[in-house]
Amino acid sequence: MAFPWQKLHVTVLGCGFMGTAILQGLFRDAKDGPEIRATACVRSSTSIERAQKALAQHKDRITFQRNNFAEAAKDANVVMLGVPPDQLEALLSEAGLVDALRNKAIISLLAGVSTAQILQALAKEQDQRKQFHLVRVIPTIGAQYGDSLTLLADTDSAGKEEQAACEWLLNQIGAIQPISEDLIDTATAVGAACNALSFLAIDAVVDGSVADGLPRDTALSLAAQSLRSAAGLACNGMSPESIRAAMSIPRGITINSLLQLERGQVRSGISDSVRHAIAYTKGMSS
């Protein structure tokens, strides 16, 4: 998909971990596209120092700004909303910001906040909401490496050019997964739960390995690479059942490890954790 304009100036309002990862991915390997500039906006001095450090190699193309979000949004043609969801109302109450967002492509990164809720916060009158070209997305943590699977809500709240600009940007940080907006909260929760469970599993594997004498850095490399390999099999069409069957040879290590895990009710614990994450995410918008 071609970028519809000659230049891209993206402003991230609330450039936290995910906003920073998106900018890292965007500047990492953008090819055959427009001239790109960015503005990273944060509230605190600590946050601006963190963003400057993480994005230091792209400092010639990124402006770092503390506060005054309306001024930062005014010069952009794509604006990302990256603040915590419960801070949306406070963000939009800043003098001049709503006006600065009119007729721009707006990308919402806010988990648990629907397109309708954001549009209502931007404009109380229905006919005024057409002035805001809103796209709702949920990227994943691989964005900085160009490895995000970004959930893109299937809505019609953006114009054709604005939608194309947002999709071009998202393709620079990985792949896009279109999804019905009524399922995006569930999918968001599943992704978040998988992240948490993966990190916890790696940490537990490393601790167990170190307890039996393996150096921590070696254990971490093995655990991370094993998880990556298993994910690669799943991404290429192998079901968990077929992976398990292929690796569970008679009297093998894998099957005995799995049986030990089942004694600890790990499967039901993981399922319960995922369902809790889904319920929690849906509750964020109520």
Q: Which residues are annotated as a binding site for NADP(+)?
A: 13-18
Query: In whole angstroms, what is the distance from residue 182 CA to residue 187 CA?
Result: 10
Q: Which residues are annotated as a binding site for NADPH?
A: 67
CA-based nearest residue to 279, from 113, 112, 83: 112
Q: Are 282 and 185 in contact (CB under 8 A)?
A: yes
Q: In angstroms, what CA-CA distances link 265 with 5, 145, 196, 273? A: 54, 35, 18, 12
SS3 per residue for the chain? CCCCCCEEEEEEECCCHHHHHHHHHHHHCCCCCCEEEEEEEECCHHHHHHHHHHCHHHCCCEEEEECCHHHHHHCCCEEEECCCHHHHHHHHCCCCHHHHHCCCEEEECCCCCCHHHHHHHHCCCHHHHHHCEEEEEECCHHHHHCCEEEEEECCCCCCHHHHHHHHHHHHCCEEEEEECHHHHHHHHHHHHHHHHHHHHHHHHHHHHHHHCCCCHHHHHHHHHHHHHHHHHHHHCCCCHHHHHHHHCCCCCHHHHHHHHHHHCCHHHHHHHHHHHHHHHHHHCCC
Q: Which residues are annotated as a binding site?
A: 13-18, 67
